[in-house]
Amino acid sequence: METLSEAIARLTAAGYTLDFRAETGGLRAVGTDCLHVPESLLVEEIVRFEGASDPQDSAALFALRCVTHGVRGTYVVAYGPSMDPLDAEMVRRLGDGRRR
């Protein structure tokens, strides 16, 4: 089974080089001044992880592509009841690249 760090390394090698972080109003590409509205980002892959000993120790990894700027990156969130409310809003607003 693939670990979170292995999945991030795989996606980075595939060109998902940016890290996204939730901020009020959107997802920031870390290290840039670009704040992306979630609706402009397509979800190209989702990988879920559960903690080995604690089901509440869960995470989700999103492989995202910005349709406007053509950049790709990853976004990691806690999954389940421990998800930050801002992350929950951003995940809800993300586009789904599989529908396009």
pLDDT tens for the chain, 100 residues long, are 889 999 999 999 999 999 999 999 999 999 888 999 999 999 999 999 986 656 666 899 999 999 888 899 999 999 888 899 999 999 999 976 554 4
What is the structure's pLDDT at 61?
97
Q: Which residues contact 35 (CB under 8 A, 6 or more apart)?
A: 23, 25, 26, 27, 28, 29
Model-level pTM greater than 0.85?
yes
What are the tokens at 8?
Answer: 């991030």
What is the structure's pLDDT at 100?
43
Number of domain units in the chain: 1
Range of the domain at 82: 4-99
Q: Which residues contact 98 (CB under 8 A, 6 or more apart)?
A: 43, 44
What is the structure's pLDDT at 53?
57
What is the structure's pLDDT at 4?
92
